[in-house]
Amino acid sequence: MKRYLFLFLILTFYIQGARIDRVDTANRQNALSENPLVKVESQQEEKVPMVIPGEETDLGPQYIVKRKFIRKWVQGFVDSYYTYTSNVFQEEELSPNQAYDSSLMASTAQVAFAPDAFELSDKLKISPTIGFRHQWFNYGIGDTDPLNRFGGSGGLNSLDFDVQTLYASNRWIYDNLWVATVQFDWIRLLGHEKPTSNYAEFYKEYDTFASLERYFPINDVSYFSIGVEEKWRITDVDPALPKRQINDRIDQSVSINYNYQFFEKLSINPFYRFQHSHYIVNKDRNDFTHTTGLGVSYLITDWASIRLSGSWEHRESNDVVIEDYKKFDLGTGLSASIRF
């Protein structure tokens, strides 16, 4: 009996790890449609060239009047992303077809105080943001096959959960080539146990991360970018398996992206990301994750877009208890963003 309980707790630990990884993946997918190089409109004066030398002596300086800049302060964003994943539990396939595959619907709604970037100089801009995000993750939509691993019943939709995030960030944009970001997140995960009107909190994170990106314009329709990021995660797991802070870790990653705009509204984005995760409580654990993928985005209007994306992910861990896994994701999403 104790052996089965231990196995159940270990599986629960894997599921929680898979869930927070899913949150990170969804947020990176949402970011594919964002351009971090915030372009700023501002009210400026431009001198009219002199027709004859010395005319300013009589008339004074002459200026062209430009349109008044109206700053937008609030951003609203909604997104719905439906994907197929080949390995729900991030399991190591020791035998063919061992891993469970499933569909997943990730829906996002967020509102933020996010004013247009402020110009500090001719080349330097800052872009602060404070916001709230709510996300719904629903597995196995349309799947009637039950998941029966421990003698119980129920489908993969028993894994459904919600995520609430409070976040604050600031971006420094230099010469539209360098982007530095510092952000703080408070995240909590809520299970869908009944009654559904009283979701139970089972996981919390307090994240701090800093990133630096460098953009290399190739021509008017394409650019290449490389970025590095370090994230410090302080976690709180319920139930404790075996400690509440078992998932505390430092994530370090490097990503390479290429973006090509076929025409005004269609763009393609192949990418590669490598992440090293060092666990603090379990000091012997280091994970190494490789992700490569491709995204295609079509701008329906100025405020709405649709995208297709696919990715292949491979994780290896030097902890013998942690399973190495491979998985493939393929999905489509629709998003809308408004500013006022």
Chain segment 95-117, per-residue pLDDT in tens: 666 678 888 999 999 999 999 99
State the pLDDT at residue 164: 96
Mean pLDDT across the chain: 82
Q: Where are the domains of the chain?
A: 2-34+74-339
Cis peptide before 270 (omega within 30 of 0): no
Chain segment 235-290, per-residue pLDDT in tens: 988 766 667 888 899 999 999 999 998 888 899 999 999 999 999 988 889 999 99
How far is Cα 12 from Cα 32, in angstroms, rounded to an integer?
Answer: 31
State the pLDDT at residue 93: 74
**Sign (positive/negative) of CA torsion 221, 226, 232, 235?**
positive
State the pLDDT at residue 39: 45
Q: What is the mean pLDDT of residues 315-326?
A: 90
Could you tell me the CA-to-CA distances from 194 to 117, 159, 160 in Å, in that order? 44, 13, 12
With a CB cutoff of 8 Å and minimum separation 6, the contacts of 329 are: 25, 83, 84, 85, 86, 293, 309, 310, 311, 313
Instruction: Name the CATH architecture for the domain at 2-34+74-339.
Output: Beta Barrel (2.40)
State the pLDDT at residue 337: 92
Which is higher by pLDDT, 71 or 2? 71
Maximum C-alpha span of the chain: 98
pLDDT above 50: residue 1: no
**Sign (positive/negative) of CA torsion 255, 84, 187, 334?**
positive
State the pLDDT at residue 151: 39
pLDDT above 70: residue 297: yes
Report percent pLDDT > 70 for the chain: 75
For residue 301, the tally of other CB atoms under 10 A from its CB is 8
Chain segment 161-213, per-residue pLDDT in tens: 999 999 999 999 999 899 999 999 999 999 876 655 567 888 899 999 999 99
